[in-house]
Amino acid sequence: MTDSVILDVWCELQCPDCHRALDDVRALRARYGDRLDIRLRHFPLEKHRHAFAAAQAAEEAAEQGRAWPYVEAVLARTAELGERGEAVLLDVARELGLDAEEFDTALIDGRHILIVDADQAEGKAIGVSGTPTYVIGGERLDGGKSQEGLRARIEEIADRLLSADGA
């Protein structure tokens, strides 16, 4: 018996659709709190040339204890990230009071590449083809085409799983 349900959010930080999906993620977090373990999974798309660096930067933010605030701040600036590149990643780190020099070093030494690569490989293996994509209770929900009705579907699955577990 578990007391929380895992929701994997396959995301890429230069993706405008992922930015739009943040409202759903925030609403889910508000509704379920600790009963829903929302995990960021990386799926950088080739069409966005700064997405891979952004995924690594998000891992550095996680290491420094600020994963979601960092992800939300970068997603709020997808257009700027596209224009200015990695400088935006360091700006956001500074604005959140994180160690921007450590971010810079992490991007240079590639210490988080394996995590990003593993997420991407797992995503491909389970059929993720775009972002955002959600996986909960073994069900994959593709938000890349439309966010319409997805939050309700996630809530439906989460409620079912949580009541089945007696949580």
Instruction: Indicate whether 2 pLDDT > 60.
Output: no
pLDDT at 95: 97
CA distances from 61 to 7, 110, 145, 166 (A): 20, 14, 28, 34
CA distances from 4 to 27, 31, 167 (A): 16, 13, 7
Q: Give 45-98 pLDDT, tens digit per residue.
A: 999 999 999 999 999 999 999 999 999 999 999 999 999 999 999 999 999 999
In the chain, which ranges are E strands? Answer: 5-11, 36-42, 133-136, 139-142
Cα 150 off chain centre by: 16
Q: What are residue 141's phi and psi, to 5 degrees?
A: -120, 120
pLDDT at 1: 42
Question: Average model confidence (pLDDT) for the chain?
Answer: 93
Q: Give 95-151 pLDDT, tens digit per residue.
A: 999 999 999 999 999 999 999 999 999 999 999 999 999 999 999 998 866 777 889
**Separation between Cα atoms, residue 146 and residue 156, nearest integer Å:** 18
**Separation between Cα atoms, residue 66 and residue 36, nearest integer Å:** 18
Q: Domains in the chain, ordered, with CATH?
A: 5-165 (3.40.30.10)
Element (H, E) at 33: none
Element (H, E) at 1: none
pLDDT cut 70: percent of the chain above it:
96
Instruction: Indicate whether 165 pLDDT > 70.
Output: no
Going by the DSSP 8-state scheme, the letter that residue 7 receives in this structure is: E
